[in-house]
Amino acid sequence: MMPYREMKTETLLLQPAENGWTAVHKKYKTYYGSLACEAEADGVRLSAAFGENAAARKEAVEAALREIFTNTAAQRVLLDGGEIAREAWQKAEDARNAALHRTAADYADVLGRPVHCVMDRPLGSRHPRYPDMLYTVNYGCVPGVLAGDGAEQDVYVLGPTAPLETFDGVVIAVIHRFDDCEDKWVVAEAGARYTAEDIRAAVAFQEKYYRSEILL
């Protein structure tokens, strides 16, 4: 099988368990249910125990399917007495991503916006839950601005080569994730020029775990 990593959906926090995940409310940590995975010959048997929490179950199962088909060679997932084939899942996922596509015009009120950033994970620090993840750029938030997950808006700061406590700059790009409930802003000095490829390379240490598009 695969290592089970923590995942966030629109309302849930999926915490790694021995053979799957435990699902709790992202903010209030209310318990909703659990997901368990069992390896099959060419796939995975997925069990979802959520009682009457149908909406949470749907959200959690969608996240689990994405994780299984993205990070394993499984060709099918057995769920609720039925079978979900990789090809069928991929077709549905591509349609979903197409529907989630955004353009720079959708972020006209964000791109170019001056922001004050406070670093909680400065350059050279490590992720508090995943110590193997090294922050190769300064990473923090914009106080007072809430993101899709209900927390303050996260930012990557490009340019400075030393750890920072704060930074004042402008939003030069938005990383729109297809498989998460929040976007990430990219901040640099006014007038700085970065291509989408430059940005993707700079933030790959974390963004490689997500499917996304970069809007400039």
Q: Which residues are within 8 A (CB) of 104 and not within 5 positions of it... i.e. 6 or more apart? A: 111, 215, 216
Confidence of residue 58 (pLDDT cuts 50, 70, 90): very high
Nearest-CA neighbor of 148 among 110, 117, 113, 120?
A: 110
| Domain range list for the chain | 7-100, 104-215
**What is the predicted pLDDT for the residue at 1?**
65
* Strand ranges for the chain from DSSP E: 7-8, 12-17, 20-25, 31-39, 43-49, 76-79, 82-85, 114-121, 138-146, 152-157, 166-177, 184-188, 212-215
CB 169 within 8 A of CB 160: no
Classify domain 7-100 at the CATH superfamily level: Gcn5-related N-acetyltransferase (GNAT) (3.40.630.30)
pLDDT tens, position by position, 123-172: 999 998 789 899 999 999 999 999 988 889 999 999 999 999 999 999 99
pLDDT, mean of residues 51-75: 95
Predicted model pTM = 0.75
Q: How large is the average pLDDT for residues 9-17?
A: 89
Does domain 104-215 bear CATH number 3.40.50.1820?
no
